[in-house]
Amino acid sequence: MNGHLYKCLNNANRRKILYCIGKEEKCVNEIAECLDLEQSLTSHHLKDLYDCGLIEKKRKGKRIYYKVSEPEIIEILEKGKELGDRLEKRC
Amino acid sequence: MNGHLYKCLNNANRRKILYCIGKEEKCVNEIAECLDLEQSLTSHHLKDLYDCGLIEKKRKGKRIYYKVSEPEIIEILEKGKELGDRLEKRC
DNA sequence: CACTTGTATAAATGACCGTTCATATGAATA
DNA sequence: TATTCATATGAACGGTCATTTATACAAGTG
């Protein structure tokens, strides 16, 4: 899923993960619990996000911590959300 | 495809259409020719974009003219492109 | 009204995506 | 080293998407 930014963003769970680790790094289980997702599914999405370059990872002992790789990613998400909301009202 | 902004943006042809009618309105055949797409496929994508609120339409005689419904849509596209390029280099 | 032009729509198909389940790997600890 | 905890991976599935083909509709023109 390399270089497919929009593909990565086109999934609510992946977007939630980005918001979840936008300000603070978290390990896989924390993320999974935070979003009420299965560990396996969380790992799959994290891989997609990582391959796309949207997140970074760092191992600490058994755990692997992920965080969003640059702040503008969250800004774009927020702009996208605002735009989406605005467009919906238009109808 | 109502309210699915990212789904709409997650397709190169639809993004090209947005760029194509970002500054000036064009009719379906002009868009199709401009992007070298079949008329039918162009219409399908235009419907998706329209249902999402990303574009507006206006009939003039036989032809129907489409244009992007607000400038920020193109801005977001450009920000997305910049981010995507930046993330690719990172790898 | 018949015809032409411009656009939309419906069905079909192959490809891709998200999720789940089962299993593997990797690191720490007893 | 055997076990446990944390995470990753692979296969399989049902669903969705993009595209093509064929056809319908809508508006102007002869």
CB contact at 8 A, A18 and A53: no
Q: What is the ipTM of this complex?
A: 0.92
Average pLDDT, chain A: 95
SS3 state of residue B59: strand
pLDDT over 90 at A42, yes or no:
yes
Q: Is A43 helix (H, G, I), strand (E, B) or coil?
A: helix
Residue A13 is part of which domain span? 5-90
Q: What tens digit of pLDDT does each residue of A4-38 get?
A: 999 999 999 999 999 999 999 999 999 999 999 99
Rounded to the nearest 5 percent, the helix, strand and coil shares of chain A are 60, 15, 25
The nearest CA of chain A is from the CA of B85 a distance in Å of: 8
pLDDT of residue B20: 98
Nearest CA to A71 out of A55, A52, A49 is that of A55
Helical axes A28-35 vs A12-20, angle rounded to 10°? 120
Identify the band that residue B88 occupies on the pLDDT scale cut at 50, 70 and 90.
confident
Mean pLDDT computed over B55-69: 98
Q: What percent of chain B has pLDDT over 90?
A: 91
Q: Which of chain C's bases lie under 7 Å from a protein CB?
A: 5-10, 17-23, 26-29
The reported pLDDT for the residue numbered B82 is 96
Look at residue B89 in the predicted model and tell me its pLDDT.
84
* Residues in chain B whose Cβ is within 8 Å of chain A: 2-3, 5-7, 9-11, 15, 52-54, 69-70, 72-73, 76, 79-80, 83-84, 86-88, 90-91
**Sequential DSSP letters for B1-53:** -TT-HHHHHS-HHHHHHHHHTSSS-EEHHHHHHHHT--HHHHHHHHHHHHHHT
Which A residues 22-61 have CB within 7 Å of strand C?
A: 37-38, 40-41, 44-45, 48, 59, 61
Of A15, A21, A11, nearest to A65 (Cα)?
Answer: A21
Q: Tell me the CATH number at B54.
A: 1.10.10.10
How many domains are contained in chain A?
A: 1
Whether residue A21 contacts residue A66, with contact meaning beta carbons closer than 8 Å, is answered with yes
Instruction: Give the mean model confidence (pLDDT) for residues A54-81.
Output: 97
Structural contact between residues B35 and B42, judged by C-beta atoms closer than 8 angstroms: yes
